Structure 1
């Protein structure tokens, strides 16, 4: 069984995390959700979902304070972790190994176990601290994946933009069932 950890933090773009959970369920991927308090606020503000509705999209939901949860240990095998969206605070915590809550601990475990970690960072413009933290995470084996939309497929809606980005993230995370649209050339 494929296991995916999904983190949702307080950056704008909660739709990416929610759509990721929906798509993972459709693909038969077992999901573990960790949403920070600010992430829950954003999910409610941007999408109108409460905690219960969000947690219902995951197979298992964990509180950020539950540092004894299964995903806090490398002995619990997962395939990948995606933080969608990822705040600069979370990026900094991961870059500096600060596993001070379950989300950042799970990210640290993902890196130490050499599993795929994808951070959908949401901030612009970047300052030097942001860039250095992205470099540090990349040097540790993580993947920094700002959700920048592709327009060459001529999307007709925001939902199409989100879906295509989510498919690409799933592919980058190593979920073999993902189906991003391929560029076929001109």
Structure 2
């Protein structure tokens, strides 16, 4: 047994997520209140070219005070599969279609207080398309050698968790010849 939810109160319902407070009975008999972010989930993708370069974005993130390096990603729309979301976001954010998609896995970026799951894919066989940024997206697309992106992680230039996870998930597959 883990915990049993005794009650739930919605504290905030936002555009992307909700904040709830759940009363939880733990298996040791203690009851606690937990504040939890309820998120619809997301998809992220590692877009690789035939030259083993990576299409990355440098995106403004107000919450962290500036621009950061990221792989393209976006929130799942209702009734949308993770792969459909990944395909949509690839075109919207970087202006590319992909011929081949590989599911790399799922990550839970902050399991201590959120139920968000990010589905991570590798997009290959890229072809140009028309970029369709959302009105609140400020980003720039950069083509970077895959090995250089890994060095950027080592140097601390890439700090985004989904990006680091996606890069190393892709590296494991590439090193083993699975893609």
- Scaled to the shorter chain, the TM-score interval is under 0.3
More strand by share: 2
Higher fraction of helix: 1
TM-score by length of 2: 0.26
| Max Rg structure | 2
TM-score in terms of structure 1 length = 0.25
